[in-house]
Structures are given as C-alpha cells and as structure tokens.
Amino acid sequence: AAIPVITLDGPGGVGKGTLSRLLAQSLGWHLLDSGAIYRALAYAAREQGISDQDIHALVDMARTLPLHFQGDAGQTRVFLAGEPIDEVLRQPEIGEMASRLAVHPPVRAALLERQRAFRAAPGLIADGRDMGTVVFPDAPLKVFLTASVEERAKRRLNQLNEQGVNASLSAVKTEIAARDERDQRRSVAPLQPAGDARILDTSGQAVSETLSVLNGWIKDTF
Ligand code: C5P
C-alpha cells in the first residue's frame, strides 16, 4: 500500500507549521515544511544576487540546492551547504521573495520531486499551499486551514516575537495580505483547497481545539 500522507494547506500564519509539527510528533511520522524549501531557494537566490524573475537561474538552483533537513517533527533544522539557516528563513523579506519566485511554473516543477522524496514510512505530514492539490494528490486525508487575516497576523507576530524578531502588527498584516493575494492569483498551483479537502476555520480556536478536530479526522481515515 502507498505510504500514508496527510496534507495541511492554507495561507500564511494559519498555524500549519505548529499543527504539522505536533501531528508528526504524536504520530511518529515525517514532516515536510514545503515553505522552508521555497524560502531556502529565495535565500540562496538573494545571496547569489539572482532575481526572483530570473526563471532559468532559479530552476538551475532549485535542482541543485544543497539543502538538508535534520531531525524530525520536534526540532527540524534546515541547512544550506552545511550552514544552519533556520533563523534567516523566518525573515519576512524571505517569505516575500519566496512567494514571488513561487509563481513561476518551471520553478515549482523543479521542486516537485524534492518534495515527494519526503514521503517515507511510516507516514508523512506535508505542510504548504499545494500539498493536496499538486504534490500529493493521492493523500487519503487533506486538510485546508483558514483564519481571518487579523488573526493570522496576530499569530505570526507572536511567533516572530518569540523568535526575537521585531515587527509591527500592521506591517505583518500587510505582508500576509500581499502574500495571500499572490499565492491565490498565480496560475499554477494557486492557494486553494483540493476538491476532496476538509476545510477547517481555526479563527478563535486554540491549538488544542484544532488538534482534536484533526485527530478525529485521522481516526476516521486511517
Ligand atoms: O509557508 P511559508 O510562509 O513558509 O511559505 C512561503 C511562501 O512560499 C508562500 O507564501 C508561498 O508563496 C510559497 N509556497 C508555495 N508552495 C508551497 C509552500 C510555500 O508556493 N507548497
């Protein structure tokens, strides 16, 4: 039988990262943070002075990027050519640039196999924008998370503050709204629920409440 996958898609700041980590931990499954791959590509491109419009150079880079993830679920660390880059990847400018290079279909195609390679026994939790629609269309459980832009901006701001990054709520909100726009409008793999996704609005919900809904769906599915 195919290795089980649960996809968690949704807009920025909706809590996918936290929920995916907790689920991967409790199930003992692997974790794919696909946003970190797009962010790492953005970071590497910026370091080398490659523009987010230079599709050819970005595709070359996407194919060869010496990216490694260490650890699973609990504490995943991201390394580029052996250098830890977790912290720099969280910068809002990197998220912004990631969403600008993510609009190019050849760039997305070049990252496809790299993402699918995370599917390993006993199972995978895949977090992103197109996990259920494009990367793992056969996933038995697809979840699409939503929450108001206000709520997502507050969550993202708290997360940044915890990480010692300074930002204002209005700046975070503007950045999230701009990324939502771009992620939804792009022609390939736009941010939208798969036809067979279960949609969960997490506005006003504590992490524990969302988790218990997800755990119920997991029991129904596997
Ligand atoms: O989830 P995260 O904020 O880390 O993602 C950064 C950007 O990477 C997103 O705004 C989106 O444009 C892009 N992305 C994507 N497809 C994914 C994951 C992220 O296009 N599966």
According to the model, what pLDDT value does residue 108 have? 97
Integer Cα distance of 90 and 161 in angstroms:
11
In which band, very low, low, confident or very high, does the pLDDT at 91 lie, cut at 50, 70 and 90? confident
* Structure letter (DSSP) for residue 135: I
In which band, very low, low, confident or very high, does the pLDDT at 73 lie, cut at 50, 70 and 90? low
% of the chain residues with pLDDT over 90: 88
In which band, very low, low, confident or very high, does the pLDDT at 215 lie, cut at 50, 70 and 90? very high
Query: Span 14-42, mean pLDDT?
Result: 96
Residue nearest to atom 11 of ligand 1 (CA): 99
pLDDT in tens, 164-204: 888 899 999 999 999 999 999 999 999 999 999 999 999 99
According to the model, what pLDDT value does residue 75 have? 75
According to the model, what pLDDT value does residue 81 have? 96
Does position 1 have pLDDT exceeding 80, yes or no?
no
Mutate to test the pocket of ligand 1, among 129, 163, 174, 185 (most ligand atoms within 8 A of CB): 129
Collect all residues with Cβ–Cβ distance below 8 Å to 27 and sequence separation of at least 6: 122, 123, 125, 218
Distance of CA 189 from the midpoint of ligand 1 (Å): 11
Answer whether 136 contacts ligand 1 (Cβ < 6 A): no
According to the model, what pLDDT value does residue 159 have? 87
* Structure letter (DSSP) for residue 133: I
- What ipTM did this prediction achieve? 0.98
Integer Cα distance of 196 and 129 in angstroms:
15
Answer whether 102 contacts ligand 1 (Cβ < 6 A): yes
Answer whether 156 contacts ligand 1 (Cβ < 6 A): no
Collect all residues with Cβ–Cβ distance below 8 Å to 125 and sequence separation of at least 6: 5, 6, 8, 20, 23, 24, 27, 29, 30, 31, 32
Question: How does the average pLDDT of the chain come out, rounded?
Answer: 94
